[in-house]
Structure 1
Amino acid sequence: MKIKSIILYICIILVVLAGILFGAYRYFFGGLTQDKAFAEIAANQADRLAVNDETDLENANIVNIAIFGIDSQDSDKGRSDATMILSVDYEHNKIKLSSIARDTLVYIPDKDVTEKFTHAYAYGGAQLAVKTLNTNFNTNITDYVAVNFSEMAEIIDLVGGVEVDLTEAEREQLPDNDSLSVGENITLNGKQAVFYSRIRKIDNDNARTSRQREIMACLFRKARDMSATQYPTLIRECLSLCTTSLDYTEILSFSQILLQKDLKLEQFALPGDSVDAWGGIMSSSGAWCYVYDLREASDALLTFIYESIYTNSDIELPPATVDRSAVN
């Protein structure tokens, strides 16, 4: 009888623990919108993402994730108004952010057209946008996160806004700007930060992507400075606002690097100063675009992400998918 009571007691404890774990899972990850179809393609049909074994550096302890900011209320549709590659670099203990200008002229596979990169997401969602990245920049990305800009404002408000260096010309482009001053470390709320990241009229696409990286860098710093008791709410709320190919175990694994005390954050942009770029009019549509040698751009991007792992490799990049002859 005593043995039966002990067994019953153990079973009750196990049931309670299982309930607690399930409740914790639902609390943290119940709002996660995982793109399981994309994850299935990445796992079993990598050719549909243009993953190229000849330029693969998968043995490097570096994970690359595409981040798309979508100008639509639906993260499955719309153009990618902001595109970055988030590199979680365990090899060098770094987080790296690489921007690709939205107006970069690229070859869009499946559609078999040469157009602005921003159109790839509208044509085929995350799958075609990632395939376009891999095709043109010789990356081998198999994961992504997408967030529309209205949701991005909510994420920024969750951390209490972001601090940026604000000029008068930028201030004039922002909503509710009467109380804003200009200078360093000016706090913007979510709505203002989204407008800030999308400013186009006062300068160029390089400045625009720089502002976008500035916002992302501030978000990373804010997340690192938060106390452990604040993380549950942040994780739960942020995951509910994103669509991603990652599952919860992968997200937890990647987040561990934020706890490293000597973690560095580095930034890079294309075209930036790495390659010669020209603005021109596409012959096919008459639209303005950025044109640069995408083989040179690939070389600069891979050097930034992988450092000596790439430069010491024997990888031979294929010819550029786009060159200056594509514009008038």
Structure 2
Amino acid sequence: MSKKEKSTKIILSLFIIGVLIFGGAFGYTFYELGKINTVKISKTDEDLGIKTDAAPQAEKDNGITNIAFFGLDRRTEKEPARSDSIMVLSVDTKNKKIKMSSIMRDTYVAVKGHDETKINHAYAYGGPQLAIRTLNENFDLNIRNYVSVDFFNLEKIIDSINGVTIDVAQDEVNLMNDYMNETARIEGKSISRITSSGPQTLNGLQAVAYSRIRYTSGGDFKRTERQRTVLTGMLTKIQSLGATEFPSVVSKLLPLTETSMSSMDVMALGTKVIASKTTALEQERFPVDGYCEGKTIGGVWYLKADLKATTDQIHKFIYEDAKPVSKTPLF
């Protein structure tokens, strides 16, 4: 496989799995981009909560583009959904990296028009536009675009690539089966139960169940790690597809995601990424250990973070390519 073909697969894979989707001007890719499910949102600084002195100059200087990714917890297509998975996806062409910054869904932040609450509520209150605004206003970012996918479509995406390989821990087995039973009742389907721990290929229903687990050691912190593990496994699997399989898989998967990016936006960014040979993938979770604590407010549990320190750490990770350092372990 040529470097050009490998770069194209990495880029398209990232979008398909909800991390990102880019395309270059490569024959079938241009045709498939017409199938992108584009949703218009306001792009004004005011509506997106972008400050005049926020990150744009840093992005211009460092060749960085940020896009929000939301994994939605909803049972029907029209149901107002909370974003159970929240990531800032940063294309860093200077350092030739794509970075995934997971934001803990219970983080206590200000949401425009709704006082302070959990950050994952913003999507349910005002869709992707308010969710992007909440990220921008609380972490001093200038995100203008997003990609979202719900659990049901994520399941279909994983099945389309014939599953992902995950090392399942013993304490995860029963919880995975419980989550699968819940989803199977909604979809009216049977399940293939997980019977043992260890490395194994999970189908869509199994992998989504794995990514939803939060009741083990590490709680929701561990859950965000599982979500990144599934996304990385999907990337690896899609990269392994042969040249004849790849176009067919892409055509099936594009309609399962939703984005504010137009085909031309995708083409422009894709060309930029390929030209810079950006291929490495890095990931972090915010807030990091030692800069947050669980706190019950009005009978509801929240994750109270040092937002000033967290904002600084996110900026250093995205713009200065510096990994955050925790103060003390939480578990």
For 1:198, the equivalent position in structure 2 comes to 212
Does structure 1 conserve the Cα–Cα contact (< 8 Å) formed by 2:93 and 2:276?
Answer: no
Q: TM-score normalized by structure 2?
A: 0.77
RMSD of aligned Cα (Å): 2.7
Q: 2:301 aligns with which of 262, 266, 288?
A: 288
Q: Residue type of the partner of 2:39?
A: D
For 1:83, the equivalent position in structure 2 comes to 86
State the 1:181 CA deviation: 3.0
Which structure 2 segments of 5+ residues have no match? Answer: 1-24, 178-190, 325-331
1:116-153, Cα deviation, whole Å (9 max, x unpaired): 01110000000000000001111110000111110001
Q: Distance between the aligned counterparts of 1:48 and 1:31, measured in 2?
A: 27
Q: Residue type of the partner of 2:302?
A: C
1:291-313, Cα deviation, whole Å (9 max, x unpaired): 1111111111111111169x9xx
For 1:278, the equivalent position in structure 2 comes to 293
The answer on 1:108 being equivalent to 2:111 is yes
State the 1:255 CA deviation: 4.5
SS of equivalent residue, structure 1 residue 34: coil
Q: Distance between the aligned counterparts of 1:180 and 1:255, measured in 2?
A: 41
SS of equivalent residue, structure 2 residue 77: coil
The answer on 1:71 being equivalent to 2:73 is yes
Say which structure, 1 or 2, has more relative contact order (CA 8 Å, 6+ apart).
2
Does structure 2 conserve the Cα–Cα contact (< 8 Å) formed by 1:94 and 1:263?
Answer: yes
For 1:58, the equivalent position in structure 2 comes to 59
Q: 2:319 aligns with which of 284, 299, 306?
A: 306
Q: Which structure has the larger Rg?
A: 1
Q: Distance between the aligned counterparts of 1:83 and 1:76, measured in 2?
A: 18
SS of equivalent residue, structure 2 residue 90: strand
The answer on 1:162 being equivalent to 2:164 is yes
* % same residue: 37
The answer on 1:148 being equivalent to 2:150 is yes
- Relative to structure 1, the CA distance from residue 200 to residue 25 in structure 2 (aligned partners, 3 Å threshold; closer, same or farther) is closer
Does structure 2 conserve the Cα–Cα contact (< 8 Å) formed by 1:206 and 1:271?
Answer: no
Which structure 1 segments of 5+ residues have no match? Answer: 1-20, 312-328
Does structure 2 conserve the Cα–Cα contact (< 8 Å) formed by 1:68 and 1:80?
Answer: yes
State the 1:254 CA deviation: 4.2
1:209-232, Cα deviation, whole Å (9 max, x unpaired): 000111111222223332333332
State the 1:234 CA deviation: 2.6
Q: TM-score normalized by structure 1?
A: 0.78
Paired residues in the alignment total: 280
- Relative to structure 1, the CA distance from residue 32 to residue 76 in structure 2 (aligned partners, 3 Å threshold; closer, same or farther) is farther
SS of equivalent residue, structure 1 residue 77: coil
For 1:207, the equivalent position in structure 2 comes to 222
